[in-house]
Amino acid sequence: MSEQRRIRVLDEKTIAQIAAGEVIERPASVVKELVENALDAGAAHVTVEVKGGGTDLIRVTDDGRGIAAEELAIAFRRHATSKIEGPGDLFAIRSLGFRGEALPSIAAVADVEVLTQADGETGGTFLRLENGAVARQEARARPRGTTLTVRDLFRRVPARRKFLKSPATENGRIAAVVSQYALACPGVGFSLLTEGRQTLRTSGSGDLLAGITDVYGAKTAARMLPVTAEERSWTAADGETAVTVTGMVGSPDVSRSSRGDISLFVNGRWVTSRTLSYAVEEAYHGLLMTGRHPVAVLAITVPPADVDVNIHPAKSEVKFRREPDVFRAVQRAVRGALTAQLPTASVAEPAAPFAVPSTGEVRRPPEPDGASAAPAPRAGTPSFLAALPMLRVLGQVMGAYIVAEGPDGIYVIDQHAAHERVRYDAISARRAAKQPDVQGLLQPGTLELTPRQAAVLAGVLPTLAELGFAMEPFGERSYLVRSVPAHLVKGWDAALRDLLEELGGEEKSRWEEKAVASVACHNAIRSGQALGMEEMQELVRQLEGTANPHTCPHGRPTIVKLERDYLERHFGR
Ligand code: ADP
Ligand code: MG
């Protein structure tokens, strides 16, 4: 217990710091707020520049309506906004901002400069804030619009700074934010410069497919299906809700290892919603393999009075008056888009290559958002031995497990996990010996990346080279791939993409190890794959030779053993 202190109202500085903590969590939050302000100002072009993962510099330039000289300093006061006037307006919000918290919050944790020229003014204004207070204001020329420069983010908040990930990871998150707004507003031209390199540029033509091409590349864009279900409405006891769902969703043969490419915009606002993401995924039921997630860009429009956007400090979550209606609308709209494109039979009765193998779940590495951990060993699971004894393979059961006999009991081996372990050890050994098992591609392949993937790739290139990927930059965000690890000749492209997705949510210190595990996992024997006797014997023999045969590289168990003792006790012998 700390000593009893007198109750008093906190000073403005402390209040500002606390408020800033909710709004500005990391560099990407600054980018989000500044981009939202630019969009609210009616900008046609928005340029974002970042250095040092956003902690050294974030600069957002727009050609919007600007801020009048006499209002500039006020914009940095807490709860100062031009977007609403009173509580009534909270239920009909059409702008992205409305809380008047972003600029003061940013100024509380960084040094800020603004150069702006408002509509109807002849000259521009420059303002500099240090420590949250105005340090300088003067007249300075510039064309219509606003440039906001944020330097030394969190320098005065070391506790915050400590929580940041590597610059590459923070850059990835910033790229994800800019990408989301580029998808939300295809009519605005976005440009992102990361550490001096152009990592994203959108045309701003207004065409969503063009925006998707700019962000995800032409290959993904070519597999997108339009969501044309325009209007859905229900009559409920207390009135009627109209929900419009438009946008594009990926065909089931385009899938990702995380939910990061499901983009949802509610009345133009980028939101995260587990419920609506789930609605999208539900529509793909039976079309995607377990553990795979679709690509979707959906604009959901509801009457402003039917959605509460004032429930989250960063405005990234919303609450619907009738969530079940919105859920249904999204699910039906996406399902409609999918059924319109696929042969009817494959929807009713999923066929290869979309089918979920009936024999069992396809194993995937855990999601980067960390929802799963290796399963906890259940009671009765045998203790893990250091080495495996010689085993005699008896056969395969359930298409997924190898049953073998050892001197002290019966072994049930997960064929996928076992193969992952074998392959992981082989790849690691070859890597240590600097002799990766490489296969040159007859024709060099190209890999087009999203800005976020490109940021991750830059951090993991040396490891990939050690594994056998020979890649060279080829344009802004594409790479020419000349050789790949031998076992990935088929599907190297998907393997790399999955790897970058998985690493995107990981601590950078774990990238190397995770990259090796991911490469080992790809094209490993799957659950559901029938194996011949010799194949099983070979796999078990290789597993016996690994240093740690009892777990796969992701930490899941590979073997369950039924001890002879247990059997004898059980049968009362
Ligand atoms: P909010 O966006 O919630 O109103 P902010 O703190 O983000 O609060 O911004 C305060 C005000 O500053 C805005 O209401 C707007 O009038 C003005 N403003 C901020 N950024 C810009 C910009 N890029 N262009 C024009 N006006 C801006
Ligand atoms: Mg704002």
Q: What's the burial of 293, exposed, middle or buried (CB within 10 Å: 0-12/13-18/19+)? A: buried
Residue range 121-150, pLDDT digits in tens: 989 999 999 988 999 999 999 999 999 999
Q: Are residues 190 and 227 in the same domain?
A: no
Q: Where are the beta strands (DSSP E) in 17-132?
A: 45-51, 57-62, 111-117, 125-130
Mean pLDDT of 405-421: 92
Q: Are residues 392 and 507 in the same domain?
A: yes
Among 31, 36, 37, 117, residue to substitute to test ligand 1 (most atoms within 8 Å of Cβ): 37
Q: Which amino acid is at 22?
A: E
Strand 559-563, strand 409-414: pairing: antiparallel
Q: How far is the CA of 99 from the centre of ligand 2 (A)?
A: 7
Q: List the end-to-end C-alpha distance of the chain, in Å, as a whole number.
A: 61
Place of tokens 């793909």: 284
Identify which has the larger pLDDT, 182 or 238.
182
Mean pLDDT of 176-190: 96
Identify which has the larger pLDDT, 223 or 288.
223
Q: Are residues 460 and 318 in the same domain?
A: no
Q: Which pLDDT belongs to residue 363?
A: 32
Place of tokens 């190209």: 446
Mean pLDDT of 523-546: 91
Please state the domain count of the chain. Answer: 3
Whether residue 359 is contained in a domain is answered as no
Residue range 81-137, pLDDT digits in tens: 999 888 888 888 889 999 899 999 999 999 999 999 999 898 999 999 998 899 999
Q: Are residues 331 and 408 in the same domain?
A: no
Q: Does the pLDDT of residue 385 top 70, yes or no?
A: no
List CB contacts of 297: < 8 A, sequence separation 6 or more: 183, 208, 212, 224, 247, 248, 249, 263
Q: Are residues 48 and 143 in the same domain?
A: yes
Q: How far is the CA of 41 from the centre of ligand 1 (A)?
A: 8
Evaluate whether 438 touches 484 at the Cβ level (below 8 Å). yes
For residue 560, which of 422, 363, 380 has the smallest C-alpha distance?
380
Mean pLDDT computed over every residue of the chain: 85
**Taking the model in full, what pTM does it have?**
0.66
Q: Which pLDDT belongs to residue 1?
A: 54
Q: Which pLDDT belongs to residue 360?
A: 29
Q: Are residues 248 and 128 in the same domain?
A: no
Q: Which pLDDT belongs to residue 384?
A: 33
Q: How far is the CA of 35 from the centre of ligand 2 (A)?
A: 8
Residue range 253-294, pLDDT digits in tens: 888 989 999 999 999 999 999 889 999 998 887 677 777 899
Place of tokens 């790399």: 496
Task: Residue 440: give the domain boundaries.
Answer: 383-562
Q: How far is the CA of 46 from the centre of ligand 1 (A)?
A: 15
Spatial distance between the Cα atoms of 195 and 95, rounded to a whole number of angstroms: 31
CATH of the domain at 500: 3.30.1540.20
Q: Does the pLDDT of residue 351 top 50, yes or no?
A: no
CATH of the domain at 279: 3.30.230.10
Q: Are residues 327 and 427 in the same domain?
A: no
Q: How far is the CA of 81 from the centre of ligand 1 (A)?
A: 6
pLDDT bin (cut points 50, 70, 90) of residue 557 is confident
Ligand nearest to the CA of 105: 1
Q: Are residues 445 and 511 in the same domain?
A: yes
Spatial distance between the Cα atoms of 411 and 406, rounded to a whole number of angstroms: 7
Q: Which residue's CA is minimally distant from atom 25 of ligand 1?
A: 66
Residue range 10-29, pLDDT digits in tens: 988 888 888 888 889 999 99
Identify which has the larger pLDDT, 12 or 352.
12
Q: Spell out which residues line ligand 1, taking CB within 6 angstroms.
A: 33, 37-38, 41, 62, 64-67, 75, 80-83, 97-103, 146
* 441 φψ region: left (φ > 0), alpha (ψ -120 to 50), beta (else): beta
